[in-house]
A and B are shown apart, each in its own frame.
Chain A
Amino acid sequence: MTMKPFEQYLKQKLDALPTERQPENDLWPGIDLALHAEKPHSAFSKPQRWLASAAALIVAVGLGWVLQPLWHTQNDVALNGEALVQALSQQHEQNKTTLLVSLKDTPALTNNWEEQLTELEEAAEAIKTALKEDPDNTALLRMLQSVYQQQFLLIERVHAPKWQKI
């Protein structure tokens, strides 16, 4: 049976599609953190489990200060989704208030930053609404965390001294 031109052309194009495509971001750090937060691998022997726990603890202590929000998120997902969302939001509000108070005498570099901040706050509220339906959804939790981080970055950047601008 002879192939129709379209079928033939489609097959040719399908055969030429790349089998691999690389993500723009390095995804391993997030995976690694999530694996540390999960139950030990079922194939672990007792000494391996102890070593894995010790390694996880060392990594957690080492990265704790740098990745505190992310670590809390990943670690608490397995415990309680709703409580985590509340804790994350409360922590964010406290940190944001502290940051805003510390920067109140620093002039902002743009005029519409509060409007942008409101938009990000609305995005966070939409994600929190979605989380009420699915509190353990790690992707939504990551989105919420990302929006909170964007709020911090926005506040910091608009209040950065001018000499820091590139």
Chain B
Amino acid sequence: MEMCKAAINDAQITPTPHTERQIIEAAQRGDKQAYRQLYRLHTGKVFALCYRLTADRGMAEDATQEVFIQLWQKLNNFSGQSKFSTWLHSVTANITLSYMRKQKSWFRRMVNFEESAAMQDVSPRCTSEIDLEALILRLPERARVVFVLHAIEGYRHEEIGQMMKMAAGTSKAQFHRAKQLLKVWMGYDDEAI
């Protein structure tokens, strides 16, 4: 995994929950240095989620910036009743989905992701070599977002339906579609789900 210099420095920060709480409180009071520390602590997790949702490194970087720009204004909404990382993941997912909706109209004109030839052209490989991350990124957009939110982030289909403005049943269908595609791509296509 490639890491920029800032990320290497970030990896050296391993705060206890107590210090993280102090950092959050300082940032809530408007301390930009504390907010920067918060960014360093969580940028890896936020970017990972943005990247899996958008399947595009550039968009994921833009979405990550958008998350931390909006988070500055939303920080006082965090009451401390849940884990900060859990709350941040929820904020990240919602902001990224909103960002993707805004980008969609323009990007769709440039590339038709749903019917992308690259997406169709995935040959099953030896199972020991399978890179699930790469296969997830090749899933069609709606199936990928549902798969990431349900299988990786642990959201229920009802919650995903609300986030993506669609019925819970549609979310289930998209999840099934994602699994079917992964199954074929992983070389399990002769087995019923």
Contacts and interface: CB of A to CB of B under 8 A. Distances in A.
Contacts of B75: 41, 43
B72 interface: yes
A26 B3 CA distance: 10
Interface stretch (A12-20, A81-89, A151-159): A12-20
A80 B51 CA distance: 30
- Nearest first, the 7 closest Cβ-Cβ pairs linking A and B are A20-B44, A130-B106, A22-B7, A21-B48, A41-B30, A13-B132, A6-B188
A139 B76 contact: no
Given A4-B191, A43-B28, A139-B102, A23 B66 contact: no
B1 A25 contact: no
A35 B48 contact: no
A92 interface: no
A142 B30 contact: no
Given A6-B191, A41-B72, A142 B62 contact: yes
Nearest to B42: A20
A62 interface: no
A30 interface: yes
B57 to A, nearest CB: 7
Interface string B24-55: 00001110100110010001110110010000
Interface residues of A, number: 44
B5 A35 contact: no
B30 A43 contact: yes
A120 interface: no
A145 B51 CA distance: 22
B132 A28 contact: no
B102 A24 contact: no
B116 interface: no
A35 B105 CA distance: 27
A93 interface: no
Contacts of A95: none
B152 A31 contact: no
